[in-house]
Amino acid sequence: MKAPPAVLTIAGSDSGGGAGIQADLKTFMAHGTYGLSAITAITAQNTQTVQSFCRVEPKMVAQQIHAVMEDIDVKAAKTGMLADAQVIDAVCDAWQAHGNVPLVVDPVMVATSGKRLLDKEALDTLRARLLPLALVVTPNLREAETILDLAPNSIDSVEAMVRAAQEISTRFGAAYTVVKGGHLPGESVIDVVYERCTGHVDEIENKRVQTSNTHGTGCTLSAAIAANLGQKLQVVDAVRRGVRYVNECMQTGYKVGKGQGPVNHSYAMRTMEIVPTLHNPHPFTEYLKAQTNGLWEQYTGHSFVRQAAAGTLSKQAFIHYLKQDYAYLKHYARATALAAFKSDSLGRVAELVDAMQACVRESELHVKMCNHWGVSQREMEDEQESWNNVAYTRYIVDRGMSGDVLELLVAMYPCLLGYGEAALAASADSRSQQADNPFGPWIAAYAGDEFQAAVARGRRVIEDLVREDVLGGQRLRRLAKTFRDTVDLEIRFWDNALEHN
């Protein structure tokens, strides 16, 4: 099995397990990356208080970084609590010795209580040495005020957050500054992302989660961003997914200890159900099929296909199906184009364009078969869509418009995957291969190498998207429901054809 990307945290240890390297390593694992650590300080803390801490000697901090990076191909890293100026210097010296690896700097300098964690010398060193090395810096409002020597609580609006993000990147050289807005009041939380080279600003808005279990949210966000960068996501996408992960960690949190509890880093570990193994190389596909509660087997073993394989299907039912499927393929091609539009990878766009062209070739097969039975293409074009067809195609388009590319492809997946499986099963019936079976060419087309290759490509795209994403909780349930709904609509599509027997 291919090793996951390695991601390094350079931070302090939280004996309570909710923040620091403990939170970072949990987050790295939840994102499918391999976590590495260089410990800068050791704390004795719990959910109520930090009782004491001691820093790790700067030389030892540097040695940890060197040891890891000399042996392991680190794809991204983050820093957290760095204790003092000497530790910051050691981190910067070690980091500069190992080339260009994306670095996320979480400038931990103000405790939740408001107590300053870095003295002036350390703050000056962080500004002068560490921030210029950062691809992304992630201050909260109090940390942004400290970095910019602003009065406490002076960043009191989204506009002020934007100005602070711009100034931090401009003055100190960070390529991207993410100012976190959790301390601003309101029903929503807005985080601001500023890109220095373009001046572009993104605002990421999420509904506020009402919970006291927020210990370690800053560590968790910076770790999630680093993990996403290690997975080769673009920066803004890495931040957006990181914010969503933290939001869902908070939504699924639970009480630990007597004080401010941690977020639930492991909520997304439900993806263990869909991790590729030697015996199950397509786990998300199998997971989706299992979630249909028997509908999948009903679909792929549908009486319409079994009658076609046996040669007993009525001509009227098959012609009705071909006309309706011809109309369906137009919408399917448009949905494929929408998926290409929503994709941010040129390789994936090219794959989806190929899939759209395959829809055209499939429609040509329908025209050819109808012509064989005396039905012209004009008649096919003029055929009124059945209510099943309208419901099905509009459902797919709705999922495409309201969801992301993964949800759209999941909505389209039962058609591609199901036809492939149903055709293979039907082709195993020797009657489907008899010369006098008029439906044999239809079955052979979907059981043939070209369509089966298309199924394999579509499956690979979806499985790859899942490995890039964080699936858990509500999102996973929604994707399973989308797949189940479209399987049901496929069954009704063939049911409607049989009504014309």
pLDDT tens column, 70-102: 999 999 999 999 989 999 999 999 999 987 899
Sheet containing strand 103-105, edge to edge, reads 50-55, 34-45, 6-14, 74-79, 103-105, 136-137, 176-179, 188-195, 201-207
Known active-site residue 481: no
Active-site residue identified among 9, 217, 393, 482: 217
Mean pLDDT of the chain: 89
pLDDT score, position 371 = 82
Specify the pairing of strand 176-179 against strand 188-195. antiparallel
> How does pLDDT run across 160-172, given as a tens digit for each residue?
999 999 999 999 9
pLDDT score, position 267 = 76
Mean pLDDT confidence for 306-322: 93
DSSP state of 47: S
Residue 414 neighbours by CB under 8 Å, 6+ apart: 299, 483, 486, 487, 490
pLDDT level of residue 116 (50, 70, 90 thresholds): low
Positive/negative CA dihedral, 294, 299, 303, 307: negative
Q: Cα torsion at 115, 118, 121, 123 (round to 10°)?
A: -100
450 C-beta neighbours (distance < 10 Å), count: 11
Please say if the pLDDT value at position 63 is more than 90.
Answer: yes
Specify the pairing of strand 103-105 against strand 74-79. parallel
Known active-site residue 370: no
Residue percentage of the chain with pLDDT more than 70: 95
Q: How far apart are CA 86 and CA 88, in angstroms?
A: 5
Mean pLDDT confidence for 137-160: 94
Known active-site residue 18: no
Active-site residue identified among 219, 249, 359, 370: 219
pLDDT score, position 115 = 56
pLDDT level of residue 396 (50, 70, 90 thresholds): very high
Specify the pairing of strand 188-195 against strand 201-207. antiparallel
Please say if the pLDDT value at position 272 is more than 50.
Answer: no
255 C-beta neighbours (distance < 10 Å), count: 12
385 C-beta neighbours (distance < 10 Å), count: 16
Please say if the pLDDT value at position 29 is more than 50.
Answer: yes
pLDDT level of residue 473 (50, 70, 90 thresholds): low
Mean pLDDT confidence for 121-130: 94
Contact 319, 371 (CB under 8 A): no
Which three-class secondary structure state does DSSP give residue 115?
coil
Active-site residue identified among 33, 214, 393, 486: 214
Positive/negative CA dihedral, 334, 335, 336, 339: positive
Active-site residue identified among 26, 75, 78, 180: 180
Active-site residue identified among 216, 230, 420, 472: 216
pLDDT score, position 271 = 44
pLDDT level of residue 447 (50, 70, 90 thresholds): very high
Active-site residue identified among 218, 230, 261, 472: 218
Mean pLDDT confidence for 1-11: 90
pLDDT level of residue 113 (50, 70, 90 thresholds): very low
Q: How far apart are CA 9 and CA 209, in angstroms?
A: 27
Known active-site residue 197: no
Please say if the pLDDT value at position 276 is more than 70.
Answer: no
> How does pLDDT run across 170-219, given as a tens digit for each residue?
999 999 999 999 889 989 999 999 999 999 999 999 989 888 888 889 99
Known active-site residue 180: yes
- Measured distance between the N- and C-terminal CA atoms of the chain, rounded to whole angstroms: 51
Residue 131 neighbours by CB under 8 Å, 6+ apart: 105, 107, 137, 147, 168, 172, 173, 174
The token duo for 164 is 């602070």
Strand partners, 35: 7
> Which of 334-348, 390-404, 447-461 shows the lowest per-residue confidence on average (mean pLDDT)?
334-348
pLDDT score, position 472 = 65
Q: How far apart are CA 496 and CA 498, in angstroms?
A: 5
Q: How far apart are CA 486 and CA 394, in angstroms?
A: 11
388 C-beta neighbours (distance < 10 Å), count: 20
> How does pLDDT run across 239-264, given as a tens digit for each residue?
999 998 998 888 888 888 888 888 88
Known active-site residue 216: yes
Please say if the pLDDT value at position 224 is more than 90.
Answer: yes
